[in-house]
Amino acid sequence: QKWRPFCLRFEGVVEDFNYGTLLRLDCREDYTEENTIFATRIQFFAIEIARNREGCNSVVYSRAREPAAADAAS
């Protein structure tokens, strides 16, 4: 109910704004049954943009770069 007015602002602006998608509750963890909820696409975008601005996703980014750095060193 609280999200609805926010989401409706993007109708016609963001394609498929109200389609469902999976969202991680804890952005430091992978997608698992316990760490995943169903959200609308615009909710996913809003939460992920906020996480990026706050630096929350830097843990995931660093973890993804580790194997690439190890491959480059060998």
**Distance (Å, rounded) from C-alpha 30 to C-alpha 1?**
28
In a domain, residue 10? The reply is yes
Domains: count for the chain: 1
User: What does pTM read for this prediction?
Assistant: 0.75
In a domain, residue 73? The reply is no
- Cβ-based neighbours of 25, under 8 Å, separated by 6 or more: 35, 36, 37
pLDDT over 70 at 74, yes or no: no
The domain that holds 11 is classified in CATH as 1.10.3560.10
pLDDT-based confidence at 49, cuts 50/70/90? very high
In a domain, residue 50? The reply is yes
In a domain, residue 34? The reply is yes
Domain region containing 30? 2-68
* Residues 56-61, mean pLDDT to the nearest whole number: 81
Name the residue with higher pLDDT: 26 or 59.
26
What's the angle, vertex CA 41, arms to CA 37 and CA 47, rounded to 5? Answer: 70
Name the residue with higher pLDDT: 63 or 37.
37
In a domain, residue 38? The reply is yes
